[in-house]
């Protein structure tokens, strides 16, 4: 009998954990990639370290925190991700030892392969605090006697920064860019779940609350403009997209999300980087 072809081993689903400071931060920076990970069967956990109880012009406290938690849960369901909101006050985050140990526990319990975080240069003190505390968790997740009740990891996950526009002290230097054009509408739908932010607080804070439409269809069309940032990512890192996807598709990418590997985590080889991020479809 001729030799039978050997079946390829099934791909092990990955565990991806993204940390943001507030409900909606992960959706804005990682929503498209999160949907692509979920589609290929990976586990995606979005974590909001603060409960969002201060970011609104008319609501505050527990009422607002519960509202934002419900919005985050709906957004997670839209993307196929679990969304966890931690109960820390908005605007008051600090990179304390207690918070670091909480983050270590979350990463360990998720058995994370990939951890996403903001860079430590940012306009918002909460964003900077989350960047610091997640960076500080790198390596420590492998130390058995730190946060000892969550079993330590045998090897450090890969940590990667989400994209931003800050250039000082150094601009983002992405190692991978993900074409999210096929799931752009899904990302808009997830952002649409965050009514208190997309249609209330952010427009109020930005001085254009009067531009927000009243109807749902009109709001979705208006919110699509929020993806201008993702279009800017695609344009800025076009050469990286063509290197990853090939010339034809890379030049056709309309929306993208970009990530830079953090040196404090494990440094993946190029082939592992392609497996970790959803760039193959």
Measured from the Cβ of residue 139, the count of other Cβ atoms closer than 10 Å reads 15
State the pTM of this model: 0.94
Asked whether residue 5 carries a pLDDT value surpassing 70, the answer given is no
pLDDT of residue 2: 54
28-43 pLDDT, tens digit per residue, is 999 999 999 999 999 9
Q: Give the length of the chain.
A: 281
CATH classification for the domain delimited by 15-178+258-276, as one of 3.50.50.60, 3.90.1150.10, 3.40.50.10320, 3.40.50.300: 3.40.50.10320
Which pLDDT score, from 0 to 100, does residue 32 have? 98
| pLDDT above 90 coverage of the chain, percent | 93
Q: What mean pLDDT comes out for the span 63-90?
A: 98
pLDDT of residue 11: 75
pLDDT tens for 227-271 read 888 899 999 999 999 999 999 999 999 999 999 999 999 999 999
Edge-to-edge strand ranges of the sheet holding 256-261: 82-85, 43-48, 15-20, 114-117, 158-162, 256-261, 176-179
Does the pLDDT of residue 6 top 90, yes or no? Answer: no
Reported as a pLDDT band with limits 50, 70 and 90, residue 225 is confident
Rounded to 5 degrees, φ, ψ at 239 are: -65, -35
pLDDT at res. 199: 97
- Mean of pLDDT values over 147-168: 96
**pLDDT at residue 1 above 80?**
no
Domain residue ranges of the chain, discontinuous segments joined by +: 15-178+258-276
For residue 62, the Cα-to-chain-centroid distance in whole angstroms is 25
CB 227 within 8 A of CB 187: yes
Report residue 272 as tokens: 């592992």
Rounded to an integer, the average pLDDT of 176-199 is: 97
* Band of residue 54 on the pLDDT scale cut at 50, 70, 90: very high
Is the pLDDT confidence value at 3 over 60? no
Four-residue CA torsion sign, 176, 181, 183, 189:
positive
Q: 15 with 111: CB under 8 angstroms?
A: yes
Could you read off the pLDDT of 89-139 as tens digits, one per residue? 999 999 999 999 999 999 999 999 999 999 999 999 999 999 999 999 999
Instruction: Indicate the average pLDDT of the chain.
Output: 95
Q: Is the pLDDT of residue 81 over 60?
A: yes
Say which DSSP state 229 is in.
Answer: H
Rounded mean pLDDT, 159-174: 96
Instruction: Take residue 274 and report the two structure tokens written for it.
Output: 């392609």
DSSP state of 277: T
* Distance of alpha carbon 72 from alpha carbon 230, whole angstroms: 20
Asked if residue 8 has pLDDT above 70, the reply is no
Q: Spell out the residues 6+ positions from residue 274 whose beta carbon is closer than 8 angstroms to its own.
A: 176, 244, 280
């Amino acid at each position: 009998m001729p030799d039978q072809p050997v079946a390829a081993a099934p791909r092990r689903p990955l565990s991806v954990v993204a940390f943001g400071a507030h409900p909606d931060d992960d959706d804005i920076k990682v929503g498209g990639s999160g949907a692509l990970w979920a589609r290929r069967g990976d586990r995606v956990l979005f974590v909001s370290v603060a409960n969002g109880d201060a970011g609104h012009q008319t609501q505050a406290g527990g009422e607002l925190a519960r509202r934002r938690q419900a919005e985050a849960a709906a957004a997670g369901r839209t993307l196929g991700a679990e969304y966890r909101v931690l109960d820390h006050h908005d605007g008051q985050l600090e990179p304390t030892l207690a918070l670091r140990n909480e983050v270590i526990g979350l990463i360990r319990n998720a058995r994370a392969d990939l951890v996403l975080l903001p860079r430590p240069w940012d306009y918002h003190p909460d964003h900077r605090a989350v960047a610091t505390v997640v960076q500080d968790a790198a390596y420590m997740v492998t130390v058995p006697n730190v946060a000892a009740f969550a079993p330590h990891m045998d090897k450090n996950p890969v940590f990667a920064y989400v994209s931003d526009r800050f250039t000082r002290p150094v601009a983002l230097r992405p190692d991978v860019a993900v074409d999210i054009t096929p799931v752009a509408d899904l990302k808009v739908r997830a952002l649409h779940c965050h009514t208190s932010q997309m249609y209330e607080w952010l427009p109020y804070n930005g001085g254009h609350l009067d531009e927000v439409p009243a109807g749902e269809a009109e709001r979705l069309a208006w919110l699509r403009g929020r993806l201008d940032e993702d279009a800017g990512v695609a344009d800025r890192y076009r050469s990286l997209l063509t290197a990853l996807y090939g010339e034809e598709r890379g030049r056709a990418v309309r929306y993208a999300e970009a990530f830079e590997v953090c040196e404090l985590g494990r440094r993946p080889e190029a082939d592992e980087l392609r497996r970790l991020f959803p760039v193959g479809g």
